């Protein structure tokens, strides 16, 4: 090209004259109407643009795929407000939000129909989906598993056999953990040869007795006690249940 040849010739003259040409510095780079800036829905094209800029984005327009490191989720998702022409293949829809919005769901991203396009949106609370995102993290709060992905929390509903989008409890980030609690199960052996029917009766009666003694019920959400008491109350419950069963002729581990 003529412009390229002229630039090369000009550079050569500067070098021959002994002058050192310093590359100019720019605080901001704007592009208009070319295939690099108008990347459409191509992830690779969008990322190539931002990687060429050293991953430095306009503060008012953050890089489209953001990295979600919360609870070690460690996955990239689209930013809210990103627009596509149609939901991705394999997406779940059409789902209705609590206020009547139209939503589709795919791989942890939520899309809402808005102003003639599908816009990446926050997940609507109260909506049920048949499966979790492929990159989710199980987060435990007060003995209850929450499934986290892309700033969204899901809980399992056995009555519907689906996952519900929910609002996390207050102070969830400070009290939740990715470490699973100890199993809510005792291993019981009938050392006196008790039949199965008798063992079932003894286990139920000891369970009820332990609940009455401690106030903790492992079959109730959060054990039915305050969050700050859950760990201690749970330990007390299992000690009480084990003591009751051992007193009825069982070996408990």
Say whether pLDDT at 44 is over 50. Answer: no
| Cα-to-chain-centroid distance, residue 62 | 20
At residue 93 the predicted structure's pLDDT band, cuts being 50, 70 and 90, is: confident
- Distance separating alpha carbons of residues 213 and 236, to the nearest angstrom: 9
Q: What is the pLDDT of residue 152?
A: 94
Cβ(93)–Cβ(87) below 8 Å: yes
Q: What is the pLDDT of residue 42?
A: 42
Q: What is the pLDDT of residue 123?
A: 93
Q: Say which range, 1-10, 155-164, 192-201, has the weakest mean pLDDT.
A: 1-10
- Distance separating alpha carbons of residues 194 and 191, to the nearest angstrom: 7
For the stretch 228-247, pLDDT in tens is 787 788 888 888 998 899 99
Q: What is the pLDDT of residue 1?
A: 45
Q: At how many degrees (to 10) do helices 196-214 and 230-247 cross?
A: 140
Mean pLDDT along residues 165-186: 79
Say whether pLDDT at 5 is over 60. Answer: no
At residue 109 the predicted structure's pLDDT band, cuts being 50, 70 and 90, is: very high
- Both tokens of 8, joined, read 């090369």
Mean pLDDT along residues 104-117: 92
- Report the chain's mean pLDDT, rounded to a whole number: 77
Q: What is the pLDDT of residue 90?
A: 87
Mean pLDDT along residues 84-90: 88
Q: What percent of the chain has pLDDT over 90?
A: 21
Q: What is the pLDDT of residue 183?
A: 63
Q: What is the pLDDT of residue 204?
A: 87
Nearest to 81 by CA among 28, 34, 122: 122
The tokens 């490191």 sit on which residue? 69
How far the first Cα of the chain sits from its last, in Å, is 81
Say whether pLDDT at 39 is over 50. Answer: no
Q: What is the pLDDT of residue 63?
A: 52
Burial zone of 165 (CB within 10 Å; 0-12 exposed, 13-18 middle, 19+ buried): buried
The tokens 């299992």 sit on which residue? 238
For the stretch 12-28, pLDDT in tens is 444 455 555 555 666 65
Is residue 118 classed as helix, strand or coil in its secondary structure? strand
């Amino acid at each position: 090209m003529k412009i390229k040849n002229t630039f090369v010739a000009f550079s050569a003259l500067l070098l021959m004259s002994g002058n050192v040409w310093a590359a100019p510095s720019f605080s901001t780079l704007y592009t208009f109407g070319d295939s690099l800036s108008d990347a459409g829905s191509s992830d690779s094209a969008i990322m190539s643009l931002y990687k060429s800029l050293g991953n430095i984005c306009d503060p008012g327009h953050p890089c489209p795929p953001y990295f979600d490191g919360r609870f070690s989720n460690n996955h990239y998702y689209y930013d809210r407000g990103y627009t596509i022409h149609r939901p991705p293949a394999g997406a779940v829809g059409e789902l209705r939000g609590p206020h009547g919005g139209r939503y589709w769901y795919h791989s942890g991203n939520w899309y809402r129909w808005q102003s003639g396009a599908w816009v990446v949106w926050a997940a609507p609370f109260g909506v049920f989906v048949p499966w979790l995102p492929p990159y989710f993290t199980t987060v435990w709060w007060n003995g209850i598993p929450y499934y986290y992905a892309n700033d969204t929390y899901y809980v399992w509903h056995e009555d519907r056999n689906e996952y519900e989008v929910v609002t996390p409890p207050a102070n969830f980030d400070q009290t939740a953990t990715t470490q699973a609690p100890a199993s809510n199960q005792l291993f019981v052996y009938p050392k006196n040869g008790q039949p199965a029917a008798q063992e079932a009766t003894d286990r139920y009666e000891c369970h009820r007795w332990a609940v009455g003694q401690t106030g903790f019920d492992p079959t109730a959400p959060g054990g039915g006690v305050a969050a700050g008491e859950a760990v201690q109350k749970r330990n007390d419950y299992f000690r009480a249940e084990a003591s009751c069963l051992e007193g009825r002729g069982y070996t408990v581990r």
